[in-house]
Amino acid sequence: MTLTILTLTAAYALVVSFLAYLVLLSRLHWVFKGLATAATIALIPLTFDAVGELRGMPSDGPIPPSFRMLWAEIVEPNQLQGESGRVFLWLQQLDSDNYPVGQPRAYQLPYSEDLRIKINEVMGDIAAGEDIQGTVDVEETLPEATAEALAQEIEGEISDGQPTGSASVGQRFYMFDPSVLTFGTAPAPVTPEKPQ
C-alpha cells in the first residue's frame, strides 16, 4: 500500500509540473493549454476512486468472491436519525487453493434483513471457534435489466434511504443482493503433493 501511495503522489507531482509548464511557460496555443487543463480535471474522479481503496475506511466496493470471515458488526437502521443501516465485515480473501491473499480487509454492505440473519448465524459459528468461508456467486450478482432500469432502481433506493432524498457528497453506493452470499465451514488449504 505504501508503494501505491508513493506512486500516486509521484504521478500527481508529475502531472502538476507538466500542467504548470504548459499553462505558465510554454508558447503553445491556448487550445492546447485548455485541453491539458481539462484532461487533468477529468482524471480527478478516477483518482478519487483509486484512493478510495487506500483511505483506511471499510471498502464500499464489492467483496471478494471467496473469503474467510473473521468478524462482523451490524448497525441496524435508525428511522429517527435517517440512517439506513450498514453491515461491516472483516474478511480475508482466499485464492483458488484456499490460501489467504493479502491482508484482511474491512468491507461495508447496505443493511438488509436477509443479510442480518445470515451474518448473525455465521457470527454464532465463529464465536463457537469455527473457521467460516464465504463465497459470492459472481454469475448471479448482475441482474438481467437495462442500465436505465438499474439507474432508476438505485435512485429510488437512495431517495428512500436519505430523509432529504439525496445522497451525501462523495458517498458511493454498492447494491448487494444477500442471496448470492453463502457461508460454510472453511476447508483446509490445498497442499502440493510431496515428491516420492
Cell numbers representing residue 46 in the block: 478516477
DSSP per residue, the chain: -HHHHHHHHHHHHHHHHHHHIIIII----HHHHHHHHHHHHHHHHHHHHHHHTTSSSPB-SPPPSEEEEEEEEEE--BTTTTB--EEEEEEEEB-TTS-B-SS-EEEEEE--HHHHHHHHHHHHHHHTT--EEEEE-TTSSS-S--HHHHHHHHHHHHHHHSTTSSPPTT-------GGGEEEEEPPPPPPPPPP-
171 with 108: CB under 8 angstroms?
no
| pLDDT in single tens digits along all 196 residues of the chain | 567 767 777 877 788 788 888 788 888 888 888 888 888 788 777 776 666 666 667 877 788 999 999 999 999 998 888 888 889 999 999 988 888 988 898 998 889 899 999 999 999 999 999 999 999 886 654 444 444 554 555 555 545 544 433 333 334 445 678 888 888 888 888 777 778 7
**The predicted structure's pLDDT at residue 92:** 92
Distances (CA, A) of 161 to 74, 76, 111: 17, 13, 11
**The predicted structure's pLDDT at residue 152:** 58
**The predicted structure's pLDDT at residue 144:** 46
**The predicted structure's pLDDT at residue 29:** 86
**The predicted structure's pLDDT at residue 83:** 84
Has this prediction a pTM greater than 0.85?
A: no
Report the length, in residues, of the chain: 196
